[in-house]
Amino acid sequence: MTHFQLEKLPEINSKYSMFSTFTENAECDAEFLFSAKDNLTSSEFETCAGSDILRGYRPVFDATPISRMKEKGGFLVGKTNMDEFGFGTFSTHTTFGVPKNPFDTNRSCGGSSGGAACAAAVFDGHVALGVSTGGSIVCPASFCGVYGLSPSYGRVSRYGLIDYGNSLDKIGLLSHDAYDLGKYLPVISGKDPKDITSCVQPDLKTGKGKIESVAVPKEAVEGSGISEGVMKAFEKSLETLRSMSVDVEYVSMPSLKYAIPAYYVIATSEASTNLARFGGMRYGQQDGDLSLGFNEYFTDFRSKYFGEEAKRRILLGTFTRMVGYADKYYNKALRVRMAVINEYKKQFERFDSVVTPTMPFVAPRFDEISEMSALDAYKADFLTVPPNLTGMPHLSVPCGYSDGMPAGLMFTSDHWNDSSLTHMAEKWSDSFESVHAEVSL
Amino acid sequence: MKIGLEIHVQLPTASKMFCSCPTTGDDVPNSRICPVCLGMPGSKPAINRNAMILGLKLAKLFGCKIPETTWFSRKTYFYPDLCKHYQTTQYDMPVGEGGVFYLGNKPIGITRVHLEEDPGKTKRVGEDSSLVDYNRSGIPLAEIVTEPDLSTPAEARDFLSELLKEIRDVIDLPDNGERSVRCDCNISVAKERCEVKNVTGLKNVENCLKFEMVRQMKTIKSGGKIKRETRRYDEETKTTTSARSKETEADYGYIGEPDLGIYHIRKMADEIVLKESPLKKAERFQREYGLNAKTAKQLASAPSGLSDLFESLCGECDVHTAVKWTEGVISANWKSVVSEDVVPDIVETVGKYHAGKITDTECSIKLKTIMTGSEADSAEENCDSDLTSLVNEIIDANPSLVEDYRGNDKAANSIIGTVIKQTGGKYSSAEVVDAVRKSIELRL
């Protein structure tokens, strides 16, 4: 985002709804401008994570990645719209504003970091902080035709992130400029004693640093319902990779198909405990009926303010961790996660990265989305969920266009090999001419 | 009758379990809180290493099996004093399992020792509202769960009393009410058990169990059935009342706490050297010094400095003498000792007594002086030359003495007595005798 565009922010936002809240400051002399997904706490803006239950909540502290960006001279422009608590693939599960795709405003930006991808696509030189649990960075990056990086789990401190699934959540970057990923990843990453899962990470230089060979899992691309347009763009991308002297080979990764059920069990189990704290007592909305007893109060309150998808995931997650069911679901899902990790590790003995299309289709229209069942929507994440389940870093780059809508190519590398991905993003952008969405006002 | 206890001990760490808020200090409600112990969205727990060490010390005290790795879990339940609506506790891999504690010769099984956070405190205000104070939220707790091996309320009380003595010593738990110890008491007279939550104090534990015992027996006698339930104890009326029907574990929906990760605790546990507990010390005293059980126990459960002193004395004299002085004058005056610096003086004095250099009375007077400090301070100012000048003063006042001495050296005895009295036992009789003789002889 240039400082010039800051002036036009209200106007642009009224068209695209990428921000839930943003600065009124039209002038600033910061070194660079950035935005943050609205589940990252910020002391100067309300932080609601797309949920009505948190409406009006102004945290007392900045999330670590936000304060690190500020320390580097960044100015936080605003908070980007998202699915409630990250629960969604199209950023439609929210009442704060559904972000519209810059390529076609009748279409979704993807989710759950939809607002972040939209801002990254629309504003030049703007870097957006996104969050991914099951694909929430690469999905919208793919739909909006921008670069999106979801780093290794534990690379970026989650202090200040309003949790969805703590063992899955990763904070990453989205930008129109591939070089921003390598530029800002060192800024937001690093050990933070406030999030001890960030304290075991090795140096960013870990690994080979570049990708010279990739594996394409047959199970992911053959007969899996990938649209023709996306498949075409994908095949062309493999050609491009070969022309960049990257070895491409088809492999078999049979356990990938178990990733989706395992992911939804783990993510919802964790989410249902994370959401337990929202009871209308200390933050966010507090207008429940005080004449009720405590149990009735929070039941009433939560029924009123949680969205439908949040309720669905609380119910699912509560069920899967009950005694008698935990072994059947939650504990089994943990074992599946290990199996999927091992499947990837096996490929990384021979290849530097695994590639697939990011999403099986281009950004759908809102009317198409309204006809999808919850299960249809969950299934749309079958390509992005596996790397997220493993905690491995992954990257989406724009790789082609189908009916004028962008398609994405996803690279997944081994744990801590984040720099091989930022390097690939740069190399890719040197050889692929991406289309900049035209923003008309 | 079977009785089992779940004992919650607030661990004496400076900061809370998962944040850096102080555990003690300002009692103004909600003055020692932060985003972490308030469970604010976005906050994350960071473990207090010291709490882990104290938990491991307790596990070691009971000889528990300590696992290679341990982790924390989320126990979900909705209650206003629990900020996150889940308690961070340990479920499937506690710091210790399968230990034992001997009450006399009777082994009481310790099922497990685990760590968890204390919730806040609710305070009833008026008829239909409550206030919550989160100062307590996040204070580290160790929960010690026993097997139902206790058979009477009195035995439960004795057990708790002995156990606490040991714990206080091993983890330096102060006994001034600053850290709370709360018990959940499980009791069954027949098959089904009831749990009485949150009972504080030895007497209350015993009384609550007594009441429950009688209640359950009466219920059965009159043909009723004991319902499995959670009950509440009223300290005023010494009765228990039904709180809610017992929730089964299932309702808590435990899952691992991903934000805290997995801890490899074996090495940490191996490196911990336990301070000797009073019980173990008593056993050793019996073994090493041949003390009888009663004396050994008395000495071992004395303040640790005193029992250490006893051992030092044993190096200077025979055990009998060491016991005599430790249990006598020394323990009587132990409270007035302000600094450990006096210990060598005490040892030296008893040593002199043992060597026959000073009499029983002299030793006793000297020990008192050393230990009570104030007289010792004034005596400190008199050095050897003061002794000489005091002696000279007395001789000056009684010039005839010198002549008497010439005829019979026992004439000096009257002065010697006076000097010893006036110097309050600071100098040994040998020293005084020496000084008096020297001064008189100089005048001859």
pLDDT bucket at A124, cuts 50 / 70 / 90: confident
CA A15 – CA A162 distance, rounded (Å)? 27
| CB-CB neighbors (< 8 A) of A63 in chain B | 42
Structure tokens at A415: 């744990």
Hey, are the CB atoms on B248 and A270 less than 8 Å from each other? no
Residue-wise over A34-64: b if at least 16 C-beta within 10 A, else e?
A: bbbbbbbbbeebbbbbbbbbbeebebebbbb
* Distance, CA of A186 to CA of A184 (rounded, Å): 5
Confidence grade of residue A29 (pLDDT, cut at 50, 70, 90): confident
- Residue A112 falls in the annotated catalytic set: yes
What does the pLDDT read at residue B382? 43
CA distance linking residue A46 with residue A1, whole number of Å:
21
- Angle between helix B343-354 and helix B360-372 axes, rounded to 10 deg: 180
- pLDDT score, position A132: 98
Q: Which of A42, A91, A136, A272 is catalytic?
A: A136
Q: How confident is the model at residue A441 (pLDDT cuts 50, 70, 90)?
A: low
Q: Identify all chain A residues contacting B259, using CB atoms and an 8 Å cutoff.
A: 158, 163, 166, 195-197
| Mutation target among B20, B34, B40, B82 for the A interface, most CBs of A within 10 A | B40
Give yes or no for B262 touching A (CB within 8 A): no
State residue B248's pLDDT score. 52
Cβ of A161 and B42 within 8 Å?
Answer: yes
Q: State the nearest Cα–Cα gap between B250 and chain A, in angstroms.
A: 5
Q: What angle do CA B437, B438, B442 make, to 5 degrees?
A: 115
Cβ-Cβ contacts under 8 Å, B41 against chain A: 41, 47, 49, 54, 57, 59, 162-163, 277-278, 283
User: What's the Cα-to-Cα distance from A200 to each of A150, A157, A158, A421, B93, rounded to whole Å?
Assistant: 18, 11, 14, 20, 22
Q: In the structure encoding, which two tokens stand for residue A158, read together? A: 């989650």
Q: What is the residue-level pLDDT of chain B in tens, covering all 444 positions?
A: 999 999 999 999 999 999 999 999 988 999 999 999 999 999 999 999 999 999 999 999 999 999 999 999 999 999 999 999 999 999 999 999 999 999 988 999 999 999 999 999 999 998 888 899 999 999 999 999 999 999 999 999 999 999 998 999 899 999 888 888 999 999 999 889 999 999 999 999 999 999 999 999 999 999 999 988 899 999 999 999 998 665 554 479 999 999 999 999 999 999 999 878 788 888 889 988 999 988 998 898 888 788 889 999 998 899 999 999 998 888 888 888 878 888 899 999 999 999 988 888 889 888 988 888 765 444 444 445 677 778 888 888 887 888 888 778 788 888 888 888 777 767 777 888 888 888 887 777
